[in-house]
Amino acid sequence: GEPHPGPRAVNVDLQTDATLQVDISDALSERDKVKFTVHTKSTLPNFKQNEFSVVRQHEEFIWLHDSFVENEEYAGYIIPPAPPRPDFDASREKLQKLGEGEGSMTKEEFTKMKQELEAEYLAIFKKTVAMHEVFLCRVAAHPVLRKDLNFHVFLEYNQDLSVRGKNKKEKLEDFFKNVVKSADGVLVAGVKDVDDFFEHEKTFLLEYHNRVKDASAKSDRMIRSHKNAADDINRIASSLYTLGTQDSTDLCKFFLKVSELFEKTRKIESRVAADEDLKLADLLKYYLRESQAAKDLLYRRSRALVDYENANKALDKARAKNRDVLQAETSQQLCCHKFEKISESAKQELIDFKTRRVAAFRKNLVELAELELKHAKVT
Amino acid sequence: MDTTLPPASQPSDVLMEPPSDLMNDPLIEPFSSLTENKPTSKIVSEPSDDFVDLTNNLADSPEDAAESVLADVAIDTTEIPLDEPSDDFVDIFGGETEAPREEVVIANVTVKAAAAADKSEVTSDVTDPPGDLKTGSDFEQEANETATDSIIDLSDDLLSSNAQKPPLASDQFVDPLVDFLSDAPPAADAKIPSRATVDLFEDEGNDLFTEPRQTKSAKQQQKSLFGEADEDLFGEPLGATTKKPVIKEPKGKPVPTKAARDVSNMGGPLQDGYTAEPADIFSEEAVTTVPSIKKTSAVNSKTNGVHSEEDTDIFAEATVELSLDSPQEERKKGVPAVPSASAPSVSAATSLAKPQSASLEELDDDEEEEEEEEEEQEDKFDISISVKDPEKIGDGMNAYMAYKVTTQTPLPMFRNKTFTVRRRFSDFLGLYEKLSEKHGPNGFIVPPPPEKSILGMTKVKVGKEDSSSADFVERRRAALERYLQRIVHHPSLLQDPDVREFLEREELPRAVGTQALSGAGFLKMINKATDAVSKMTIKMNESDVWFEEKLQEVESADQQFRKLHVLVESLVVHRKELSLNTASFAKSTAMLGSAEDNTALSRALSQLAEVEDKMEQLHQDQATNDTFNFAELIADYIRLLGSVRGSFDHRMKAWQRWQDAQAALQKKRETEAKLLWANKPDKLQLVKEEIAEWEVKVTQYERDFDRVTATVRKEVVRFDKEKARNFKREIINYLECLLQSQQQLIKYWEAFLPEAKAIA
């Protein structure tokens, strides 16, 4: 039964490197949290052992991500997007509804629905685990981020990192920061880049991000209605089954058989939906976040460019007035250095991003087509 | 007998080889062959090739041949990707898992055959208590890995190999048959005694299945189990050849030349033996014979023509068995089926989906039979009706829809062979009113027309040219067509002058009072009738168990159908939603593709957008299929069940009248006694006359009641039969559409795959 071979990192194509390998070997769903067992294998001298595991929660992943974002040193890199928060609410709600509706169903229907929902829950769980793993793998494969101290602590320190979720005030601050950032982003984006490569990347990413956002939303809707249709087919199958057990004519066996066919169709349809979800919607969602991360990188670079240009102007002014020249010079050099550093790594990062993206799309689309074919042929 | 059959010592060879061989054949061929009808030499020769294998084994059991195929099977088995076994399994054996044990055992046997390589496992399967249904499903798990997968693989192999050597195949074909023939007549003789098939097969079974049989507990089912199993393996040559004459003979129909090639040739000699007691054999064998009946009739489709009522019964009864048998049978042979259906060339696209279509195909078998049965019906009434060209007449709220009703019939009761009239919707309702008024009280089930739909019609009247109003018009047109078809296919209703007038007369007096039938009113009427019926049932203290059970059945069916209808409608809604959402996703994907700066990925994305666009169309078509082949069918039956209840109601009324008359008579008798007591001879005479009058009435009403009862009974039986046929036909149709769309889907994704791979 299980259509998918396990929560392997599916959305990014990463070069695995034996010196540092990270995976999530286990995960435990407790009421409102998920505990991930992060398993590390490494030959790097920084670690005390070659192989070890720690238990981490979603908040700790977010903490790690934010520490990357806030680190100025990493301004020139695409920070791997943080995994989305585990969301079992919808699935739990459905289970609850099922419990309420127990009386109105036959025992078979109930059991069947329950199994369905449990399978759905499991699928969401697996996806959650996979997305957290992808994040870690991306970091572990990154030439610079993999050396990050926080990352190493995250991997090795076998106690609670005692990070907490952000409180309301901090969240509000974040919100304003984001507002300022996006307003600034619009301003900065208007500035014509000196470098054609970045100018092109900027236009591309702006467009791409919007498109992928749209496609992601649409694919979600498509898959949702596909699942709905599959649910209907499922209920039709049960209904036909009941008909088959009630009918006294020779039609009953026919109904039973048709019921089975519907059941099978349902299986196929829901598998198609599940695979589209995994191979298409998740891919798009991941690149929605990754393209956002790439956009953020470009923003940081543009910001640095604007700063640099401002510093140049300030230096010119200072020279003209012959006042605070040294200070302006230092500042200008700092800005220049920062900008150049970002530009230098950003170029490679964006090229890598593209390579990764193309590879991931290829992999997923091929797999999608193959799965679609497999399911269709099962008919 | 023994010469026909392989020695018991090597049943495994026999069992192993032919089914695997034959199995794949139907897998290659069946689906499209049933839908299209183009004979091609390739196909005709292809099955005969398989037939050779089978007959060879039956006649001489040449081990080498068996083994070579066996080897193939084994090889293929090893190659099989076992990734999704359970699905594949269900596909092929799908229909049987729920069905009674016989099937499971059959499946066992079949698997045993296919899974030749794995003898020990097979034996264990067979030794499992056959009565246990769960064993069946357990067994699925193991079996599918070996058996079914190999079937699929094999089918491809065979397809190609057959295609390469068609002429050879047909040559070979003859010899084994001759061999077989020489042995067969004794077998046929043995059959002729009335117990016929069962006995015969039991004997054969003993020879053949000695081993497996003994491993089983000697349960009563065994007979039927092995009757089935044998039939699967041997019934084919025997059945297809010998039984056909049986069907033919009583009908006095000539053996069609079309089939002569492979079937009737062999049938000839056997036929003699058979005709001795055709009727007996026929009825005795009804159950076991069916597959062959079906096959033969498929072969001769047209010629089977008119059957007597009794035959239809047998057919109807047999249907179940048939549907159970067919998968194996099909798999094993497909031989008579192929020439009959005059199969189309197996296109690459269809052949892809073939291996998996086994379960559908088993339904197709039913269909084949049904089609034939239908022809029978049509022969009986010889009338076909179409309702076409809905046309809006007039404007505004006075507008109405008129339909062209075309009748084609050679029946002498009509003036012409083909004639067309224009009728508006209320005319259809008017016809129903007249008919139900006339025939309802007599216990006839008058097919009801579709309800008036104020909402739907208003939209049409307002002239909104959107898809929902077009959908409405088409739904109604089709429903009206089915309604008329049901009427003219009813032997008594067809005779009604109003029906004739409706079909023939240029101008029909405007139907009045149909307003009462509109929408909710109609339903209310039905519900009222139902209430009345249930109330009366209590009063009546129904002595006729049959009616009591039927009524309950009708009520629960009604409930289930209503539930099902809601579900199917919801499926339609969701599919339409899916179609819309797929369309918008396709657009988004196209945009994403244009935004993408990697050329190959960009192209792949726009290809994906195209695939999704086509997918949208598929979903939309599927929604239409859901509506017209499934939802409408159920809606029809919800209405029809209303009429069935109505006929029950009328029976109650007749009963009530009888009871009332009896009560009145009783009263009169009491009066008579009183008068006698009071010695009033003058009044006594009057009362005596009244008593005589009431006695006549009571007798009359009782007779009426009996007549209505008999009619209702007959009508319900007829209704059930029609229902079975209708459902099978429509749902198979529906499933075929489903399958077709899957095939389309395969095509689209297959075209896309290289594009995805080309991303670099």
Over the stretch B663-675, which tens digit does the pLDDT of each residue have?
888 888 888 888 8
Residue B249 has pLDDT above 70, yes or no: no
Q: What is the pLDDT of residue B523?
A: 52
Of A166 and A93, the one with more pLDDT: A93
Residue B408 has pLDDT above 60, yes or no: yes
Of B401 and B350, the one with more pLDDT: B401
Q: What is the 3-state secondary structure (H, E, C) of A290-322?
A: HHHHHHHHHHHHHHHHHHHHHHHHHHHHHHHHC
Strand, coil or helix: what is B418? strand
Hey, are the CB atoms on A251 and B549 less than 8 Å from each other? no
Hey, are the CB atoms on B352 and A354 less than 8 Å from each other? no
DSSP string, A105-122: S-HHHHHHHHHHHHHHHH
- Closest CB from A236, A248, A260 relative to B567: A236
Q: What is the pLDDT of residue B532?
A: 53
Residue B520 has pLDDT above 60, yes or no: no
Residue B28 has pLDDT above 60, yes or no: no
Characterize the bridge pairing of strands B384-393 and A33-42: unpaired
Q: Which residue of B has its CA nearest to A239?
A: B564
List, in sequence order, every residue forming a beta bridge with B422; answer none if it has no partner.
B404
Chain A from 234 to 273: CB within 8 A of any B CB: 235-236, 239-240, 242-244, 246-251, 253-261, 264-265, 267-268
Chain A from 203 to 232: CB within 8 A of any B CB: 204, 207-208, 210-212, 214-215, 217-219, 221-222, 224-226, 228-229, 232
What average pLDDT does chain A have? Answer: 83
Q: Let me know: does A207 contact B595? Beta carbons within 8 Å.
A: yes
- Closest CB from B571, B580, B595 relative to A207: B595
Q: Does A357 touch chain B (CB under 8 A)?
A: yes
What DSSP state is assigned to residue B662?
A: H
Of B626 and A2, the one with more pLDDT: B626
Q: What is the pLDDT of residue B560?
A: 84
**pLDDT level of residue B348 (50, 70, 90 thresholds):** very low
What ipTM did this prediction achieve? 0.84
Residue B353 has pLDDT above 80, yes or no: no
The pair of structure tokens assigned to A182 is 């996006």
Of B305 and B437, the one with more pLDDT: B437
Q: Rounded mean pLDDT of B42-59?
A: 38
Chain B from 80 to 109: CB within 8 A of any A CB: 84, 86-88, 90-91, 94-95, 97-99
Q: Which residue of A has its CA nearest to B616?
A: A222
- Sign of the torsion formed by the C-alpha atoms of B293, B295, B301 and B303: negative
Q: Let me know: does B107 contact B143? Beta carbons within 8 Å.
A: yes
Q: Which residue of A has its CA nearest to B622?
A: A229
User: A–B: how many Cβ contacts below 8 A?
Assistant: 208
Characterize the bridge pairing of strands B418-424 and B400-408: antiparallel
Residues B680, B664: Cα–Cα separation, whole Å: 21
Residues B110, B228: Cα–Cα separation, whole Å: 11
Q: Which residues of A touch B567 (CB under 8 A)?
A: 232, 235-236, 239
Q: What percent of chain B has pLDDT over 90?
A: 2
Q: What is the pLDDT of residues B71-95, one digit of tens each?
A: 343 333 333 333 333 333 333 333 3
Residue B351 has pLDDT above 80, yes or no: no
Q: Which residues of A touch B753 (CB under 8 A)?
A: 366, 369-370, 373
Our CA-based measurement puts residue B694 at a distance from the nearest CA of chain A, in whole angstroms, of 41
What's the CA dihedral at A133, A135, A138, A141 to 10 degrees? -60
> What single-letter amino acid sits at A74?
Y
Hey, are the CB atoms on B584 and A374 less than 8 Å from each other? no
Residue B417 has pLDDT above 50, yes or no: yes
Q: Which of B27-31, B384-388, B497-501, B515-519 has the lowest mean pLDDT?
A: B27-31
Q: Which residues of A touch B756 (CB under 8 A)?
A: 362, 365-366, 368-369
- Closest CB from B591, B723, B753 relative to A369: B753
Rg value, chain B, Cα:
31
Q: Rounded mean pLDDT of B396-421?
A: 80
Q: Does A376 touch chain B (CB under 8 A)?
A: yes
Q: What is the pLDDT of residues A44-70, one digit of tens each?
A: 887 888 889 999 988 889 999 999 988
Report the range out of B200-214, B290-304, B576-590, B680-694 with the highest average pLDDT. Answer: B576-590
Q: Which residues of B touch A255 (CB under 8 A)?
A: 727
Characterize the bridge pairing of strands A51-57 and B400-408: unpaired
Our CA-based measurement puts residue A211 at a distance from the nearest CA of chain B, in whole angstroms, of 5
Of B513 and B694, the one with more pLDDT: B694
- Closest CB from A219, A368, A376 relative to B746: A376
Q: What percent of chain B has pLDDT over 70?
A: 43
Within 8 A by CB and 6+ apart from B724, the residues are: A249, A250, A251, A254, B316, B319
Residue B627 has pLDDT above 80, yes or no: yes
List, in sequence order, every residue forming a beta bridge with A26; answer none if it has no partner.
A37
